[in-house]
Amino acid sequence: MINQKKVKSPAKINLCLHVLGRYENGYHALAMAMQRVDLCDDIRIRVTGSGGVKVRCEELALAPGEDNIAARAARLLLAEAQVAAGVEIQIDKRIPVAAGLGGGSSNAATVLLALNDMLDLRMDNSRLLRLGAQLGADVPFFIFQRPAWATGTGTDLSALSVLPEVAYLLVNPGIAVSTAEVYQSLQLTKGGELANLPRFSVVTRADLCAALHNDLEKVTLARYPLLSRIKQQLLEAGARGALMSGSGASLFGVFDSLEHAQKAANELAMETNWWVCPVSPM
């Protein structure tokens, strides 16, 4: 058994996000292309003999009675494995919160993967994916650990073919967006079907930019016009394409190289007080 471990918990972006409809249970039918990027939270995990599960994260202010998803992940894994142990988790956040970059889901998946290794539980990926789906729709993607085409509620995953070499510039103006409110406000058109979608077949950078699409933009950009301005400024700064990730409020621009993304980041940082971060895909 490994008593202590430090792990990276990466962010994600949605290269496309189609909302096809709503299930009777309230969840939405989705079709998404997702990719991890090398912006990461740092997570330190310590296994003890007792003491329950404790999470410390200075950057997160939880409401009374609210539980951190990383803590729920640890408790779920311990219960599944029928292991009595204490777990202490320290999260150092670098991924903006409520920003469409999957930080919380990534934290939960990272804890599941790390504890499975630390406790030598030897749970296979299918079992971990099932546990992840109980925590949130994006959690299985981070357990999958590859660029993925996600359908259903986002938990049915298949690997994407090799994507072109690009860099991304992430931009967030400091607006926290409620994913639940965005989905509740989405006016669904009739008859969205997976079979009617164009295949996410990307070979070149031009293919990638042509495939960029997010159905949630119509809600979030209407509420926050600043985000439309950010998209335009990314394009003016040299991005080949730009898109909102998830329900927002983070956006990203597609650049030919990290050097080009860094140059655009420098320009935006001089002109605005937005959070900007050049990243590479994982």
Domain with CATH 3.30.230.10 in the chain: 4-159
The whole-chain average pLDDT of the chain stands at: 91
Please report the sign of the dihedral spanned by the C-alpha atoms of residue 142, residue 170, residue 174, residue 227: negative
What does the pLDDT look like over 15-58, one tens digit per residue? 999 998 888 777 788 999 999 999 999 999 999 988 789 999 88
Q: Which residues contact 222 (CB under 8 A, 6 or more apart)?
A: none
What does the pLDDT look like over 166-220, one tens digit per residue? 999 999 999 888 888 888 888 765 445 655 566 677 889 999 999 999 999 999 9
CATH architecture of 167-279: 2-Layer Sandwich (3.30)
CA 226 to chain centre: 22
CATH architecture of 4-159: 2-Layer Sandwich (3.30)
Domain with CATH 3.30.70.890 in the chain: 167-279
Task: Pick the range with the lowest mean pLDDT from 26-35, 84-93, 145-154, 253-262.
Answer: 26-35
Q: Which residues are catalytic?
A: 12, 138
Q: Are 5 and 112 a contacting pair, CB within 8 Å?
A: no
Q: Are 254 and 208 a contacting pair, CB within 8 Å?
A: yes
